[in-house]
Amino acid sequence: MINFSKVSSIFRIIILLSLCCQVQQVRCQIKPMGQKGKVRAVVIGISDYQNEHIPDLLFADADAKAFAEFLKSPAGGNLPEDQVKLLTNSQATQGQMNAELTWLLEESKEGDQALIFFSGHGDMETQTMMNLGFLLTYNSPASAYMSGGAFPIYFLQSIIQTLSVQKGVQVIMVADACHSGKLAGDANNGAQATASVLASQFAKEAKILSCQSNEYSLEGREWGGGHGVFTYYLIDGLTGLADGNNDESVTMLEIERYLQDNVTPAAAPKSQIPVVIGNKGMVAAKVDPPMLAALRSRRQ
């Protein structure tokens, strides 16, 4: 019997993304992690929020750390420390998040790859007709997001579009966008609405999403001693367990099938169905056989 720790109010963005059900084809070919040119990543996870009125999460920071370690491993491309910017909890302020995304924008060149991972709360303001979406950083207010502290999704959109359209950079985004806490947008399904906005705003980028826009993501100690069920299986899949045809490459289609075959049953009786948006034939990761063998040994 699975002991579900509280449903996470997590809003994760690993730029391998997939938000809601509006599946649209991405025409650009995304290179596997670790291939030429340079790959840079901004990885963010926030479990502990400064404002006591924002519900804390359990393992968003642990998920971010695990994904960053994966990127620095042979399976993730052996990225050096200076190409992986990791922000967790009190490090992940609005100012620091802006600084690291600006670094990604300034350093990336044509032919490079950019990855963004965000794990934490997402919400929307309800005061205007536009209902703008925000990522809640460590120093976000619990409401009145436009007053400062929260990170506007439209600004993230601008950064990503500049990378992909103007600079010719390949962008992969991974997002886990849902929450169960009482935040400003709850009356209008704030997290779900934010997820849908992200899906439409980032339709030209490759995306992996932890769940449908009307679902919640689960986290608990039963997954790797303390992780979100999505990130736990995502890293396993990218390491090679998702390589269904054993060609030492993990495609977007393979990672989608693996996540749905593993996350969805693990989350039951709750409903959590991961989705991939983009060219399903593109390669998301190259398999490192020794790492895959070690992983299989641990999972036995």
Q: Where are the domains of the chain?
A: 11-299
Question: Is residue 222 predicted with pLDDT exceeding 60?
Answer: yes
Question: Is residue 225 predicted with pLDDT exceeding 70?
Answer: yes
- Domain 11-299 part of CATH 3.40.50.720: no
Residue 122: what pLDDT? 80
Q: Are 78 and 120 in contact (CB under 8 A)?
A: no
pLDDT digits (tens, 9 = 90+) for 62-105: 999 999 999 999 999 999 999 999 999 999 999 999 999 999 99
What's the CA gap between 269 and 149, in Å, rounded?
36
Q: Are 172 and 279 in contact (CB under 8 A)?
A: no
Residue 199: what pLDDT? 53
pLDDT digits (tens, 9 = 90+) for 136-191: 999 999 888 878 888 988 888 889 888 888 888 888 888 775 643 334 444 455 55
What's the CA gap between 123 and 181, in Å, rounded?
10
pLDDT tier for residue 14 given thresholds of 50, 70 and 90: very low
pLDDT tier for residue 36 given thresholds of 50, 70 and 90: low
What six digits make up the tokens of 137? 């950083």
- Top mean pLDDT of 52-66, 144-158, 186-200, 214-228 is at 52-66
Q: Are 298 and 83 in contact (CB under 8 A)?
A: no
Residue 180: what pLDDT? 38
What six digits make up the tokens of 19? 């938000």
Contact partners, residue 91, CB within 8 Å, separation at least 6? 138
DSSP characters over 136-150: --TT--SS-GGGTTS
Name which of 8-17, 96-105, 182-191, 199-208 the model is least confident about: 8-17
185: left (phi over 0), alpha (psi -120 to 50) or beta: alpha
Higher pLDDT, 34 or 215: 215
pLDDT tier for residue 299 given thresholds of 50, 70 and 90: confident
Residue 194: what pLDDT? 53
What's the CA gap between 277 and 245, in Å, rounded?
21
What's the CA gap between 178 and 155, in Å, rounded?
20
pLDDT, mean of residues 115-131: 79
Q: With H, G, I as helix, E, B as strand and everything else as coil, classify residue 217.
A: strand
pLDDT, mean of residues 262-289: 90
pLDDT tier for residue 213 given thresholds of 50, 70 and 90: low
What's the CA gap between 93 and 139, in Å, rounded?
6
Contact partners, residue 25, CB within 8 Å, separation at least 6? 278, 279
Does this model's pTM top 0.75? My answer is yes
Name which of 12-26, 176-190, 198-212, 270-284 the model is least confident about: 12-26
